Amino acid sequence: MEVFLEQLINGLTIGSFYALIALGYSMVYGILKLINFAHGDFFTLGSYVGYTFLVFGSSFITAHFGLWGGLMAAMIIAAVCVAVVGVVVERAAYRPIYPAGRLPAVVSALGASIFIQNAIMVIWGPRYQAYPASLIPNIHIQLGGLHITVLQIVILTMSFMLLGILYWIIQKTTFGAAIRATALDKDTASLMGIDFNKVIFFIFTLGPALGAITGVMVGMYYRQISFTMGWNYGLKAFTATILGGIGNLPGAMFGGLILGVLEMLGAAYISAAWKDVFVFLILIMVLIFRPTGLFGEKVAEKV
Amino acid sequence: MIQEAKRMGREGFFGSQSLFFATLTLFIMYPFVVSDYYIDVAFFFGIYALLGLSLNIVLGEVGLFDLGHAGFYAIGAYTTAILNTKFGIPVLILLPISAAAAALFAYVVCSPIIHLRGDYLCIVTIGMGEIVRIALINNPFDLTGGPNGVYGIDFPSFGGPFVIDSSIEYYFLIWIVVALSIYGLIRLQKSHIGRAWNYIREDEVAAGASGIDVRYYKLLAFVLGAALAGVAGNIYASKLMCVSPESFTFWESCLMFCIVLIGGMGSIPGVLIGAAFISLFPEIFRPFAMYRMLIFGTVMILLMMFRPGGAWPRKRGAAEHPPLHPGKEGIDG
Amino acid sequence: MADSALRSSHPVVLETQNLTKMFGGLTAVNAFDAQVHRGEICSIIGPNGAGKTTVFNAVTGIYTPEKGRIVFNGNDITGHKPHHIVAAGIARTFQNIRLFPTMTCMENIMAGHHCRISSGLWGTLFRSSGQKREEEETRSIAESRIRQVRLWDYRHELARNIAYGSQRMVEIARALATDPTLLVLDEPSSGLNPRETEELMEFLTGLIKEEDITILLIEHDMNVVMGISDWVIVMDEGRKIAEGGPDQIYHNPRVIEAYLGSDDRQAHQE
């Protein structure tokens, strides 16, 4: 039972990372029908920016606001920087290619991904970097037989708060409605007065910012970061997006959480080495029986 | 074959007949005038060309998003590696067997998922590729050698005295296989099979309603594409003499995807251009060291900006349909 | 062939029995019974959302009905795959033209003959004599069909580059290239100008005279329906509410009610 609960908490933690990254995928996918391969690299970039800030810039903030203040500042800085990069990438690599259709855009996205990944390698070097242990609170809690860290609780709370805020933005605000409307039908939405470019700007700031915050959290959680880690997280997050149903934002969140929990339970009860196989098999099973994902609308093609 | 080559020349495949023969001569002369290093570069160009051709069937002709093609490539390579090192079966005899193994794998895996549309199919193929790679790392039944892979694969031979053991011979092996594949693919493109694939790509519902067995032709594309990738895996395994899971990552699938799109969907010359770009670019830009992949990414974006249809998109029109009873065909062809 | 006695002397080509198709809670087609007789032009009319296209999609295998049977030339084809149904002899067109846009008109029409080809992968790879013969046959059939719809000069144009009216005719030619016994046309005159509509009517009546073919069509343009139909079936809210010769239908009070409605429903003339 303790193992199960621990794995559940681990799974929810990782799942919330996937969910936060998946939101970025899903927003871009819903609106542009583009698999934004660079999104995983926004996440990595965020992680590195946060790392740099913690190593070189946080002593002042840490001195005044404590460890947590320093971490918060790292997240905010990373989010702002990566949001700027996100908008630049959209302007430079995607916008000129939209009119040509979605497949050229996929290649362009891959190109952007290669560029960012290698830019990170050129700037920070090809080796692993480690988040400084001294700057990360390391308090353990014993709850019955349960063994967790304060950091884990903070990360979990923060991720869920972010997911909650995002859910609220998407489902309850006018801007969320604009995003959902544009995802359903771009032309009709713009006829209704929704500014397409504003929506694009929004998703390409919000998505990368979320990715960057997740990147810092992953750095705090695992300590080690590498310039290629975006691929793996990106792939998982994209899987979560599809599992939840393409373009369905709450679906992407739940997809991410489910994926994380499945992965950790699979690792604990089946085999750690085969956990990803387990995850992908479940994805394939789900799609065989629900061809548009868990929460996807059943679309009868209009003939 | 020669007839076909001449026809290809005439029909504008290479612009003109003389250009075609000039290219052919260049290809034959090339390995005799450059160093082994550049012969190997051309060899890997050939491997990527074959992989590009194989994915082009699935992605280019039928429009199915397959981002797990490296899985089929891996099945071919590991079939060769395991059967050769464990049972000593000669590599060239394993060539058709590797193709068949990859094709069978594609048939079994794709049958239940072939009805999925667009990106749902895409993620399933990604999952398939990842499952293959992770399975190879985990060394099931002690067959695949785990992360280190399988070592000590023989040079290609039929078991007799004929052995392919130099760079030049490898060069000709891969390019003869590429040439034969191109010949077969042109045959298919110009037949009801190629058209059926294109109908499905253009409009699946209309294709079905015009009498095309959509499911059959999609599966056929996957099976043929996997078989060609399996052939590429066989040759690759014997060239490197070892195989390991890191050669068959998601990244490799992405490269193949780029080959097809950079060249132009469904265009055979396009695939060659795409493969040349992917395999030669890193060589040419080697002096730029760690900046070369930055340039590579930038060029990919620029290519799609300026040639979104690919470098050499397939042209349709009268050239696809020579007159029914060509007068001179029998004389000069 | 307007009167029912003469009509029933012709054999039934297509029959639907108790055909029912539901989408979630909505019953799009409800216990629909109909017969189409050989050699006639039969029209299905009715207001938007009456379930006409759903009937077509069930007949051509795109949807599988929840209940009921579809019998074609004495064979039950309910739930068969679209390509089997085409091979059995039913060819169709779509309401919003569905051609293969980046392929030539010739290639589009050649699609129709695909279901009559028997050579396989090996024959194709090695250019067997059978494959060559079939390829030539496909081409000559497509050429004769493209001549028939008078688009010979456009045969090498990409389908997306020709005029809308011509696209419609290419789609019909593609259906005809399957060598069908029943041609199913979903609003063939929609989007055509009056002159093109006139030509289409001439073409269809000519087709019935020259070939052993039966035509089932959905149509909103009453001039077309009354001008060329031998038999008219009226649908409303998924059910058949009337059928008969064009004159009978024209004066049938239930039809007038369905179209003009006692409530606020409008007549559809497009």
Q: List all residues of chain C from 1 to 60 with a beta carbon under 8 Å from chain A.
A: 23, 53, 57
- Give the residue from chain A lying closest to B254, CA to CA: A110
Per residue in A113-157, pLDDT (tens digit) is 999 999 999 999 888 988 887 777 777 887 777 778 888 888 889
- Cα-to-chain-centroid distance, residue A147: 26
* Mean pLDDT, rounded, of chain A: 86
Number of H helices and E strands in chain A, helices first, is 11, 4
* Nearest residue to B173 (alpha-carbon basis) of B46, B78, B76, B82: B46
Q: How far is A135 from chain B (nearest CA, A)?
A: 32
Q: What is the pLDDT of residue B182?
A: 94
**Six-digit token string for C80:** 């068969």
Q: What is the pLDDT of residue C33?
A: 92
Q: What is the pLDDT of residue B13?
A: 53
Q: How far is B30 from chain A (nearest CA, A)?
A: 31
| Per-residue DSSP letter, B304 | H
Q: What is the pLDDT averaged over residues C122-126?
A: 88
Going by C-beta distance under 8 Å and a sequence separation of 6 or more, which residues neighbour residue B292? B281, B282, B285, B286
| Per-residue DSSP letter, B155 | P
B26 phi and psi angles, rounded to 5 deg: -60, -45
Contact between chains at B254 and A292 (C-beta distance less than 8 A): no
Contact between chains at B324 and C140 (C-beta distance less than 8 A): yes
With contact defined as beta carbons under 8 Å apart, do B265 and B63 qualify? yes
SS3 A141: strand
Contact between chains at C178 and B211 (C-beta distance less than 8 A): yes
Going by C-beta distance under 8 Å and a sequence separation of 6 or more, which residues neighbour residue C131? B191, C119, C123, C124
Query: Residue C13 and residue C91: Cα distance in Å, rounded?
Result: 13
pLDDT-derived band at A299 (thresholds 50, 70, 90) equals low
Q: What is the pLDDT of residue C5?
A: 67
ipTM metric:
0.89
Q: What is the pLDDT of residue B191?
A: 92
With contact defined as beta carbons under 8 Å apart, do A47 and A78 qualify? yes
Contact list, B130 vs chain A (CB under 8 Å): 235, 276-277, 280
B242 phi and psi angles, rounded to 5 deg: -150, 155
Q: What DSSP assignment string belongs to A22-48?
A: HHHHHHHHHHH----TTHHHHHHHHHH
Q: Locate the domains of chain A by residue range.
A: 21-142+151-230
- C117 close contact with B: CB closer than 8 A: yes
How many alpha carbons fall within 13 Å on the CB side of residue A214?
35
Per residue in A234-259, pLDDT (tens digit) is 989 988 988 888 778 888 889 999 99
- Give the residue from chain C lying closest to A300, CA to CA: C23
SS3 C45: strand
**Six-digit token string for B148:** 């280190």
Query: Residue A157 and residue C72: Cα distance in Å, rounded?
Result: 64
The pTM of the whole model exceeds 0.90: no
* Nearest residue to B226 (alpha-carbon basis) of B129, B148, B135, B159: B129
Handedness of CA A14, A19, A20, A24 (dihedral sign): positive
Q: Select from A100, A116, A274 the Cβ nearest to the Cβ of B138.
A: A274
- Is the confidence at residue C266, as pLDDT, over 70? no
Per residue in C15-35, pLDDT (tens digit) is 999 999 988 888 899 999 999
Contact between chains at A239 and B298 (C-beta distance less than 8 A): no
| Inter-chain CB pairs, A–B, below 8 Å | 128
Q: What percent of chain A is modeled with pLDDT above 70?
A: 97
Number of H helices and E strands in chain B, helices first, is 14, 2
Query: Residue A1 and residue C159: Cα distance in Å, rounded?
Result: 64
Instruction: Please list the ranges in chain B whose pLDDT falls under 50.
Output: 1, 9-10, 12, 319, 321-333
Q: What is the pLDDT of residue B228?
A: 96
Query: Residue B234 and residue B173: Cα distance in Å, rounded?
Result: 11
Give the Å distances, CA to CA, from B81 to B71, B85, B151.
15, 6, 8
Q: How far is C108 from chain B (nearest CA, A)?
A: 8
CA dihedral B6, B11, B17, B19 (to 10 degrees): -130
Query: Residue A166 and residue B3: Cα distance in Å, rounded?
Result: 64
Going by C-beta distance under 8 Å and a sequence separation of 6 or more, which residues neighbour residue C193? C165
Mutate to test the interface with C, among B11, B210, B223 (most CBs of C within 10 A): B210
Q: How far is C270 from chain B (nearest CA, A)?
A: 24
- B259 close contact with A: CB closer than 8 A: no
CB atoms within 10 A of CB A297: 12
C233 phi and psi angles, rounded to 5 deg: -115, 130
Domains contained in chain C, CATH given: 1-89+180-270 (3.40.50.300), 100-179 (no CATH)
How many alpha carbons fall within 13 Å on the CB side of residue A121?
18
Q: What DSSP assignment string belongs to B13-46?
A: SSSSHHHHHHHHHHHHHHHHHS-HHHHHHHHHHH
Provide the angle, in degrees to the nearest 10, between the axes of the packed helices B268-284 and B292-306. 150
- Cα-to-chain-centroid distance, residue B250: 16
Classify strands C90-92 and C182-186 as parallel, antiparallel or unpaired.
parallel
Query: Residue A241 and residue A255: Cα distance in Å, rounded?
Result: 6
Q: Which amino acid is at C89?
A: G
Going by C-beta distance under 8 Å and a sequence separation of 6 or more, which residues neighbour residue B6? B17, B332, B333
Query: Residue A106 and residue A40: Cα distance in Å, rounded?
Result: 14
Q: How far is B67 from chain A (nearest CA, A)?
A: 11
- C128 close contact with B: CB closer than 8 A: no
Range with lowest mean pLDDT among A29-43, A110-124, B13-27, C208-222: B13-27
Q: What is the pLDDT of residue B218?
A: 96
Provide the angle, in degrees to the nearest 10, between the axes of the packed helices B167-189 and B2-10. 70
* Mean pLDDT, rounded, of chain C: 88
Contact between chains at B257 and A107 (C-beta distance less than 8 A): yes
With contact defined as beta carbons under 8 Å apart, do C222 and C269 qualify? yes
Contact list, B192 vs chain C (CB under 8 Å): 110, 114, 117, 119, 124, 134-135, 138
CB atoms within 10 A of CB A136: 17
